[in-house]
Structure 1
Amino acid sequence: MNRILLTTCITAILTGCTSSVVRPSFDYAATSLGVYNSGLLNVGQLFVWDTETSTLTRLDEVPFPPAPTTRTNPTTLHASNISSLSFTAGIDSTVKANASAAIKENLSIRVQNGSREEYLNTIGLLATEINRRKAANEDVDRSWLLSQAAQQGSSLRYILVRGLVTSDKAELMAQNSSGAELSLIVPGGKGGTTKIDLSGEALASCSGSRSPCFLSLQVFQAYINESGNYDFEPVRGVATSQIADLLKSL
């Protein structure tokens, strides 16, 4: 992996190399604290994921208890391993790869007064909501695509927002950063350099008392249990970055 220089583009100009500027978007970025909640989703938000077509459909919010099962005491947290970013349209694949590696290696998000809030018994909450909707004469089989999702070999999975990291403020931090402008310089195309301009990223959806900054998500597969009712089992091994990419399509 190329080492990143926290410097200016003057070097590129002196050596006669070309330079360019890219501006990444952190919308639904994947991090060590979860997916950055740029869309301000709530706990209980449910999606159906077609793994065959890689499409995501937003369903309803499943009612969750007013208080989480667990909540950690507020402290300073750092979201690292930032990935699944979007870049300026038309960016060269080499530049994109270098920029993504630079951000993952050098950048983190510092979260002030951060608390992890998690809800347990999520399968029970799903079952309770299905029963409530059936009692209200809603065709939940159709509205939630349950009859399709529970078929053997179905490509449909469910994604549920099961927890949050809340905080009062989040800000980007770079290793060995100096000066007022936050930027990274990476190798560009054809021997030039590329400046990753981070100065415009305000992380606005993570500002204010106990803002829902990061999402914890759970993937389920539906099936019919021995009682003939819909049931769910967790699907393991789904990368956070894969879910982050799906959320970008909303």
Structure 2
Amino acid sequence: MNLSFFDQFTSPCLLGIPLTLISLTFPALLFPSLNNRWITNRLSTIQLWLLHTTTKQLMSPLNKQGHKWALILISLMTMLLTINLLGLLPYTFTPTTQLSMNLALAFPLWLATLLTGLRNQPSTSLGHLLPEGTPTPLVPALILIETISLLIRPLALGVRLTANLTAGHLLIQLTSTATITLLTIAPTVSALTALILLLLTILEIAVAMIQAYVFVLLLSLYLQENI
């Protein structure tokens, strides 16, 4: 029984070939494509408005050098948001529940922000490792602590996204299993459990949207420190 709860996080395979790449690229096909008409439909208009608003929100704290990252960050958030939401549907697979994938997204982008700061303003980037006004005896310890906190950022990004989505999926599966099991034994309790399942589903939809935004927001904050 315990193993069956975690089967939903196993990458699907066909003839021994993992289908993770298909699950990553398929959500992009669901977005309406732009056409040559002067007046677009309502769905395309809402999509463009949401993208414009989110991009403006993310790029407002950054200077002009950081605006070059707008396409990367908004594309990443759109991909994470779509994958997280589609993973809540029955008989689907959520790639963002895999720690390896989340670390593969977090580490290169974090490293890119760090290298950008070291290239453009090395003194300021290295100055973050030692707060101003630190007593001389505490300098080695603070540099070590700040270095560890800097290196642990991509791990925190990946683990945060993985843990939140995995916990939500497990809670939904446990609650749905209890609802079906109690249906014949205690219908009243089963109805109450079904109500809790509905609330959990709404909460998980909110978590899927928030975690995609938080992932990209933290990357933009890391970028803000290095430009």
- The reply to whether TM is greater than 0.5 is no
User: So what's the TM-score if we normalise by structure 1?
Assistant: 0.24
| TM-score normalised by L of structure 2 | 0.26
Normalized per residue, which structure has more helix? 2
Please state which structure has a larger fraction of its residues in strand: 1
